Amino acid sequence: MGTYGPTSVSSSGDEGIIYNGIVFVGADLETVGIENPDDTIVDNVEAFSRFSDVSVPSGATIDSAYLSVTAFSGMFNGGSSSSITGFIKGRKVANCPSNITSSSNYFDTVTYPWTTAIIQWWPSSSNWVSGSSYSSPDIKTVIQEIVDLGSWSSGNAIQLAWYWSGTYEPVVYEGDFRTYHSYNSSTAYEPPRLTINYTGGTPAPIEVNVMKVIKQVTQTDVILGPFVDDTDFKSLKTAYVSDSSGIDIDAISAVTKSDITLSCSSGNGYFRHVSNGNYALTLSSDNTATLGALRVTYKVNGALPGWEEFLVVSANVYDSLIGNTDYLYTDALQIASTSSTATTLKTNIPYLDEAISGIPTDTANAVWASTTRTLTSLGTLVADIDSLLSANHGAGSWLTGDGTGSSGGPLILGTIPVSYTLTLAPEGSGTPIANAEVHISTDPAGLNVIAAGTTNVLGELVINGQTVFWLPKGTFYYWRSKAGYSFTNPDTEVVI
């Protein structure tokens, strides 16, 4: 369940009276009813109020709604032949414009029709005591008819009218009317208020004010305000300067406060009025040095205190999102939900005929030796590479397996059976080195890698689960790597 209000009329231009068919905007008092004050003319009056920014979402069900006013005076004798009563109606317009206060528009019921729903309200003398606040009967049907309009959205405006209807025999010095305080009447009394209780509806989308995003360590201008009078709570204060009495403006980053020294000229702390009680302030690069939330608070004698919230972001983020002059930095940390890096991805494909791009100062051997690699989660990539290399270099199994003896068949690149054992010195007969990675290239630079595997507990090189593999005649280069060991690479072996 949500509630709007009670919210007052926000300006004198949003209310008025209809006096004998003429619209008067911004009256000191609002009146509805009829009176014969001097037997020369009968006063025929109704009143209207427009409420802006009504935060009720579209599609909402109105559970209850009330118009509240503060009584000023009334006349209740009406004459012996009087039989009138009051009613409340609303403009059946999704967002009532302010120009309906003009006479030509107010009576244009084609463009600005009234609601079909009306609610009777005509307080008796005992229920109309000067200075007391009174609320109408439930006017939810009036509000529902407006909110149900297809173009209604939260934040639109609603105009309500309180009018009289019935028969009246004018008797001099008598009448039947109710007068109440308006926006202009007095700061001691509240103007008309609207309260709406509702359920459901589709909330309005959240809007992001990009103007409140600030680039880090940058001198920048921000807007503070409006500055509002602290006695009548509505007058805008437009004459403050940097040395006005009691003025104090602070910047709060995280929980650290820093005083802002104000100035009347360009530069850090430059404070000046812009429009309608809104002031511009130049923040220094020190004020914007800390990333995250930034609150700028202000107070000055004669005005209500206030604050504005800002978000300080890095130059890269600001220039990407606001300036459109940069790109957001991104790092690939996962591939298929598995932690990885771009370098790891490249080293997981050791059998391509080309050097690894993007690492011009490293050899393939250096990249290979940099980290542990696996191809177990790359789907059909290994098989695809095997097919491509077989097509370019002749048929045979190019698959490396995982060195555990659990995958692939014998590596057959030639007709001569070969095995390789890695041990501590003396080489070939010393202590076996297990779990070392070995890859074989056809060139001393290690660029054309043709096979790779891992040594078992006996130090034997295992490729595709086999300790014997087949190579053609020629010279081959073995590249060894294991954490904690230092090898002289490559180890040159000749197959004859």
- Spatial separation of the C-alpha atoms in residues 212 and 223, rounded to whole Å: 9
Fold classification of 350-495 is: Immunoglobulin-like (2.60.40)
| Confidence at residue 351, expressed as pLDDT on a 0 to 100 scale | 42
| Confidence at residue 265, expressed as pLDDT on a 0 to 100 scale | 86
Give Cβ neighbours of residue 468 (< 8 Å, ≥ 6 apart): 410, 417, 418, 419
**Sheet of strand 278-283: strand arrangement:** 220-224, 278-283, 271-275
- Burial of 125-155, coded b for 16+ CB within 10 Å and e otherwise, reads eeebeeeeebebeebbebbbbbbeeeebbbe
Give Cβ neighbours of residue 412 (< 8 Å, ≥ 6 apart): 396, 397, 469, 470
The amino acid present at 216, given as its one-letter code, is: Q
| Confidence at residue 165, expressed as pLDDT on a 0 to 100 scale | 87
**Residue with structure tokens 């010393």?**
430
Are the C-beta atoms of residues 4 and 149 closer than 8 Å to each other?
no
| Confidence at residue 180, expressed as pLDDT on a 0 to 100 scale | 93
Domain ranges of the chain: 2-199, 210-323, 350-495
| Helices and strands in the chain, H and E counts | 6, 29
CB atoms within 10 A of CB 113: 11
DSSP codes, 394-422 = -SS------SSSSS----BSSSEEE--B-
H or E element, residue 315: helix 315-318
Fold classification of 210-323 is: Immunoglobulin-like (2.60.40)
Domains 210-323 and 350-495 agree in fold: yes
What's the distance, Cα to Cα, between the start and end of the chain in Å? Answer: 87
Residuewise pLDDT in 10s, the chain (496 residues): 789 989 998 888 889 998 888 888 887 899 998 877 776 667 788 999 999 889 999 999 999 999 999 999 988 766 545 678 899 999 999 999 887 767 778 899 999 999 999 999 999 888 899 999 999 999 999 999 999 999 999 989 999 999 988 877 667 777 888 999 998 876 778 899 999 999 988 765 544 444 589 999 999 999 999 999 999 888 999 999 998 999 999 999 988 999 999 998 888 999 999 999 999 999 999 999 999 999 999 999 999 999 999 999 999 999 988 888 888 877 656 655 566 555 665 565 554 444 444 444 555 555 455 444 444 445 566 566 666 666 665 555 454 443 333 345 677 888 899 999 989 877 767 899 999 999 999 999 999 999 999 999 999 999 988 899 889 999 999 999 999 898 899 999 999 8
| Confidence at residue 184, expressed as pLDDT on a 0 to 100 scale | 85
